[in-house]
Amino acid sequence: MTSRKEVAELAGVSEATVSRVLNNVGPLKEETKLRVLAAATKLGYTPSSIARSFALRRSGNLGVVMPYLPKARLFSAYYFSEILSGIGSKAREEGYDLLMLFRDANEPMDYCGLFRMRKVDACIVLGAKEEPGELAALRLLKEEGHAFCLINQHFEGESFHEVDADHVEGSWQAVTHLLEQGCTRIAFLNGPEAYSNSRDRMRGYTRALTEAGIALDPTLQFEGNFSRRSGVAVAKEMVTRLEQIDAIVAANDRMAIGLQQGLRELGVTAERMPAIVGYDDSDAAELTTPALSSVRVPFYRLGELAAAKVLEMPDGGPEASVQKVRIKLPTELIIRASSQIKKSRRN
């Protein structure tokens, strides 16, 4: 077996230098580094798997940053579980393990530290919000030229790599479907504005109503936090105005289902229930009663694509050399019973 001494001799450096190069410790001239790596490779010197992985600057991990909410069952949310399945499938194919990193709601992460400590070779950020701290952390990642990508979030005026779905279109499809059935007073239960996908949905809602010559009514706009519970809570606000509402579009299925449940618990009968369209087309949409119309989003594919893209990016290379990833996949409205207007109610 080759010894460290032989590598040092071939490279013309000290044994300590060989160790430092292979372990990536301390400042070293690029030329020295290359000389040692060339010698080590030539002699087939593998001091240990870990040293080799450092020499190659690879951890073999693909990082996935997820928001962390105590008590919330993040992996159980359709949105996250589908995206993660897509990421995991591609990572596995490429020989990578997934490192799940939980971000506290109110504390920006030291993304760059993950790369500096070589915990990850590339990183995908889920659930990023438009906030100064988050934005600064992402800008730093970009400045240092790390391989990273956002899913389902874009920042106006920034040029991060982004893999997203077309939520303007998705929301437009949902509202247009309701308009075509004669609904005119369409309430909107959106998610928090800090997410670009909420703002995109608002754009689609506005566009569809404007095209139909219907003025926006701020009293028909509600906000939840994507949880079923927040849908139940909004039902209480909505029930007092139910005479003015003939349909509802919700920004995800969980809120739509919570809304249906909440309205039912408040005594709203099936006959008086407004038409409802959810968003995500989760498993639950098909299983709930009445089955929920919903906008299908290719989450699994978003995850797969993001993983494929970040794993082929060089890490730490000059930022300009990497082609910008800007993917926007189409969405599709799936019509089920919940949005079918009953004749009896309209006449």
Write the DSSP string, 189-248: EE--TTSHHHHHHHHHHHHHHHHTTPPP-GGGEEE--SSHHHHHHHHHHHHTTGGG-SEE
| Residue 34 or 50 having the CB closest to a second copy | 50
Return the range that interacts with a second copy (CB under 8 A); candidates 55-63, 132-140, 241-249, 304-312: 55-63
Length of the chain: 347
| Residue 101 or 150 having the CB closest to a second copy | 101
As measured in angstroms, the least distance from the Cβ of 245 to a second copy is 25
> Which residue of 2, 43, 67, 68 would you call a contact of a second copy, by CB under 8 A?
68
> Which residue of 98, 214, 239, 266 would you call a contact of a second copy, by CB under 8 A?
98
- The answer to whether 19 contacts a second copy (rule: CB under 8 A) is yes
Write the DSSP string, 14-58: -HHHHHHHHHT-S---HHHHHHHHHHHHHHT--S-HHHHHHHTT-
| Residue 116 or 326 having the CB closest to a second copy | 116
- The answer to whether 219 contacts a second copy (rule: CB under 8 A) is no
Neighbours of 29 (CB within 10 A): 8
Count of residues touching a second copy (by CB under 8 A)? 55
Q: How far is CA 272 from CA 72, 228, 229, 230, 295, in A?
A: 33, 21, 22, 21, 23
Return the range that interacts with a second copy (CB under 8 A); candidates 20-28, 171-179, 201-209, 231-239: 20-28
- The answer to whether 58 contacts a second copy (rule: CB under 8 A) is no
Say which residue the tokens 């499938």 belong to: 89
Residue 106 tokens read as 């109110």
- The answer to whether 347 contacts a second copy (rule: CB under 8 A) is no
| Residue 86 or 204 having the CB closest to a second copy | 86
- The answer to whether 251 contacts a second copy (rule: CB under 8 A) is no
